[in-house]
Structure 1
Amino acid sequence: MCTIFNRTIYDVVYQLQQEAPHPRRVTCTCEVENRPKYYGREYHGMISREEADHLLSVAEGSYLIRESQRQPGTYTLALRFGNQTRNFRLYYDGKHFVGEKRFESIHDLVTDGLITLYIETKAAEYIAKMTINPIYEHVGYTTLNREPALKKPAPVTRDTPDGKEPHGDDSGLEQRLTSLVRRATLKENDRAPKYEKVHNFKVHTFRGPHWCEYCANFMWGLIAQGVKCADCGLNVHKQCSKMVPNDCKPDLKHVKKVYSCDLTTLVKAHNSKRPMVVDMCIREIESRGLKSEGLYRVSGFSDLIEDVKLSFDRDGEKADISVNVYEDINIITGALKLYFRDLPIPVITYDAYPRFIEAAKLAEPDERLEALHEALKLLPPAHYETLKYLMAHLKR
């Protein structure tokens, strides 16, 4: 682990980012007609590639913007890197971009581009090997699933022959590995089902230096340096996200709502077999509504049903749906029906649904039962447990 932590601090990629060329704007000294309002003095109008190359020969990192001679009305970012001029088609939609990343200013775009070009040139082989020995296998969720969880967070220590803390200032290390430590010390609930869940990765901009929680290498660039799981907060390189196993453990601080939340995400976040909405609503319905006529047929007031939804989204398990607040039981049944309608993936998933339909068409009872049994196997655990509980409730 010591070598991994050292690599995290003295990262090759981090050092290369520090060494990358700095942007040098080549200013146009004359007035240019029809200059787009979103470009500044770096805009040189319709000049040729040869003229741009001559202007940029002053230094690495020099850049300018020109209008294309071949396609008037389109713009090119000309950038000096590696002793040659590189030309990129430039776009603007409120922000400047040449690829996926969008920037507030041309200066930021060029800075990020120079960093990326420099790192990809100097460390291509290193980057290709970053995922070979990931720190994730030692400190990630795989450790949690294999070893008993600690009751209290343990201090981060490096491996040393005598087990003592090494000398030196390691405060930066602890700060950078905060999320890794958090993962390594999360309490595992033995009662919680081992539901497999893919990570919900979104492109993310990290403020300040950040390290990948999969490979422990620096995440380079100014913006959109990597991806972050919206459900559990895991931060990794975009290329590393393809290697992370389907072991997402949603954290309540990341899961902001109950309704419209993926069913598996919700149950994992609450360490339960089923969504607490289903359990709480069904308990309330069975305690005071089983003899009500038209229990799931009669609709409650829509504004009060929406109020129940907002209460669950805001208060979670502390939501009050008792008779003291909602006397009409049809409001609770309406809230339960709304929960199922709002699921992004239905209880009977899109993959399993055709199998259920095929099973229902079978005339022979034993064959139909066997086909239904096979169809149920296609449901994720959270969906299966929810359907099982709901069917038992409807039978009652």
Structure 2
Amino acid sequence: MSYRKLNEDTGSPVQDLGSPVRHVWNTNLYQLQQEAPSPRPVACARQPPGCPPCYGREFHGTLAQREAAALLDQDGSFLVRRSSAADSDFYTLSLRFGGQVKHYKLYYDGQHYVKDKRFDSVRELVADGLVTLYIEEKAGAFVQQMPSVSSYEKSPYMTLNRLKRRAVIARSLRKSADDRPELSSTYSLLDAEREATQLPPAAAAAAAYDRPHNFRVHTFKGLNWCEFCGNFLWGFTAQGVKCEDCGFSAHSKCSEKVPCDCCPDLKQLRGVFGIDLTTLVKAHRSPRPFVVDKCVEEMERRGLEAEGLYRVSGFAEEIETLKMALDRDGEQTDMSPEVYDNINVIAGTLKLYLRLLPIPLITFDAHPALISAARTYAFATLAQCKCVEDQKKGIRDALTLLPPAHLGTLKYLMEHLGRVAERHSVNKMTSHNLSTVFAPTLMPPPRDLSKCVGLPGMTYEICALETMISHQREVFS
């Protein structure tokens, strides 16, 4: 029995077999950054004489270590002082973290710095430092091992760009054939693509590339992940490095493991898949990712009555081809029946886009609150109590935790799934069926949450999504 047939028979949502691409991002370090203490400047009651113009109320003048420690009463609190030692002529940043007060020499050359990173304000420096200290405390061993345990062939970069790289290899092989008159007349681009497909990964890289990456320390806007190890690029400035020729992003340590396979052609093909949703909509200045709009519009144009919509898998190769087209052509991508006659390819591409989001559409901040609302309703139902209104209110409250881009996209998607469910007599996809299919994609449980007692599979995630589909007007009002 084939994978595709098995999926049609079982309708299992846990492993979407319509695409070989799995979730490639690791959000553990992102969650740790969210948990890190916030900077809390301790203001000086009276501005001391000789306060440097680069400091504000956080400057306390000459102060001994013991006096500074007495003012710092909670994690994240900080102040700037001049040491009371007679021979000192420098400024000190005093910071409480983990119940202890730490002291750092503080420098200013137009920007504030302790080591290499530069910041426009002391508060920004402290915010970045608290995240680094927290991650080193909670996951120091993990951070040290990241580059050594990761595989380049299984990296997000290779996973997301495999077809693009194959196309570039094919063009390179074709160009080589053009330089050989005896081959150029018979060797077509199709021949080159076939040859590129058959080459093993290492040989393919050698055939097309032998060029080192041009890595430079980079400050990433928004949230970004390492394309080598898949882990979060933590901090607020100089989080990692980026190749100026092809755009490859990585931790500094991970970049040392990347082979010499820089492919500048990929710079124009960075695409939209696997990019943080908020970062993407800000870059495109749109309320939602255009991928969601295009796929939904095409499915509503010709697919609402297709039996098993979203449950039946499209062909993996066609889904990957459409993904590559959307990354390359953007909103101009042709998704008409003449090009993609199987509507399940469109549906599979939308699910793939949502599955590759580094932070799920329903974020880890909102997830526990939604589970709580669903669990309360489930227990009340067992007690034969009617409290659908309470559940809807709990879900509404949970959705306020979503960033605007996530909330707007979720509302648009739920409205679409509601229209799919309205035709369940034809397409066999009720709101429960749809929520069962989408729950693992939209609400993958945080790693620690999956260990909680009393979480039977994805029962509560399915319950929450079903409520959002069936009562979208009340939930999103």
Using the size of structure 2 for normalisation, the TM-score is 0.42
Amino acid at match of 1:38: C
Going by fraction, where is helix more abundant, 1 or 2? 2
> Equivalent residue for 2:78?
63
C-alpha change, 1:253 and 1:240, in structure 2 (3 Å) is closer
> Equivalent residue for 1:211?
225
Q: 2:213 aligns with which of 196, 199, 209?
A: 199
**How far did 1:7 drift?**
6.1
**How far did 1:35 drift?**
0.2
Measured in 2, the distance between the counterparts of 1:240 and 1:5 equals 21
SS state of the match for residue 242, structure 2?
strand
**How far did 1:117 drift?**
0.4
| Preserved CA contact (<8 Å) 2:209 2:262 | no
**How far did 1:93 drift?**
0.7
**How far did 1:126 drift?**
1.3
Q: Deviation string for 1:131-157 (max 9, x for gaps)?
A: 24435312577x6xxxxxxxxxxxxxx
SS state of the match for residue 251, structure 1?
helix
Q: Deviation string for 1:307-363 (max 9, x for gaps)?
A: xxxxxxxxxxxxxxxxxxxxxxxxxxxxxxxxxxxxxxxxxxxxxxxxxxxxxxxxx
Segments of structure 1 that go 5 or more residues without pairing to the other structure are 144-179, 255-396
| Preserved CA contact (<8 Å) 1:46 1:67 | yes
**How far did 1:185 drift?**
2.1
2:144 maps to 1:128: yes
Identity, in percent, stands at 47
Measured in 1, the distance between the counterparts of 2:83 and 2:71 equals 16
Amino acid at match of 1:215: C
Moved over 4 A (4+): 1-7
Measured in 2, the distance between the counterparts of 1:96 and 1:102 equals 6
> Equivalent residue for 2:259?
245
**How far did 1:248 drift?**
1.2
C-alpha change, 1:235 and 1:119, in structure 2 (3 Å) is same
> How many pairs are equivalent?
215
| Preserved CA contact (<8 Å) 1:134 1:214 | yes
| Preserved CA contact (<8 Å) 1:4 1:216 | no
Measured in 2, the distance between the counterparts of 1:195 and 1:25 equals 51
Measured in 1, the distance between the counterparts of 2:162 and 2:117 equals 29
| Preserved CA contact (<8 Å) 2:247 2:267 | no
**How far did 1:116 drift?**
0.3
| Preserved CA contact (<8 Å) 1:20 1:115 | yes
Q: Deviation string for 1:158-183 (max 9, x for gaps)?
A: xxxxxxxxxxxxxxxxxxxxxx6245
Q: Deviation string for 1:166-223 (max 9, x for gaps)?
A: xxxxxxxxxxxxxx62454231221356442211100001111101000000000001
> Equivalent residue for 1:335?
none
Measured in 1, the distance between the counterparts of 2:84 and 2:216 equals 38
Amino acid at match of 1:202: R
| Preserved CA contact (<8 Å) 1:139 1:183 | no
2:46 maps to 1:30: yes
C-alpha change, 1:47 and 1:220, in structure 2 (3 Å) is same
Q: Deviation string for 1:279-306 (max 9, x for gaps)?
A: xxxxxxxxxxxxxxxxxxxxxxxxxxxx
Q: 1:94 aligns with which of 110, 118, 127?
A: 110
Amino acid at match of 2:75: E
**How far did 1:72 drift?**
3.7
2:28 maps to 1:12: yes
Measured in 1, the distance between the counterparts of 2:162 and 2:49 equals 57
| Preserved CA contact (<8 Å) 1:140 1:183 | no
C-alpha change, 1:119 and 1:184, in structure 2 (3 Å) is farther
Q: Deviation string for 1:210-249 (max 9, x for gaps)?
A: 0100000000000110000111110000110111111111
Q: 1:224 aligns with which of 238, 242, 260?
A: 238
| Preserved CA contact (<8 Å) 1:203 1:224 | yes
**How far did 1:53 drift?**
0.8
C-alpha change, 1:19 and 1:4, in structure 2 (3 Å) is farther
- Of structures 1 and 2, the one scoring higher in RCO (CA 8 A, sep 6+) is 2
RMSD: 2.5
- State how 1:105-144 maps to structure 2 within 5 Å: 105-134=121-150, 136-139=152-155
SS state of the match for residue 94, structure 2?
strand
Measured in 2, the distance between the counterparts of 1:86 and 1:4 equals 45
2:160 maps to 1:181: yes
Measured in 2, the distance between the counterparts of 1:7 and 1:16 equals 18
C-alpha change, 1:217 and 1:30, in structure 2 (3 Å) is same
**How far did 1:252 drift?**
8.0
Amino acid at match of 1:200: N
2:78 maps to 1:75: no
Segments of structure 2 that go 5 or more residues without pairing to the other structure are 1-14, 177-206, 269-477
Measured in 2, the distance between the counterparts of 1:183 and 1:87 equals 48
Using the size of structure 1 for normalisation, the TM-score is 0.51
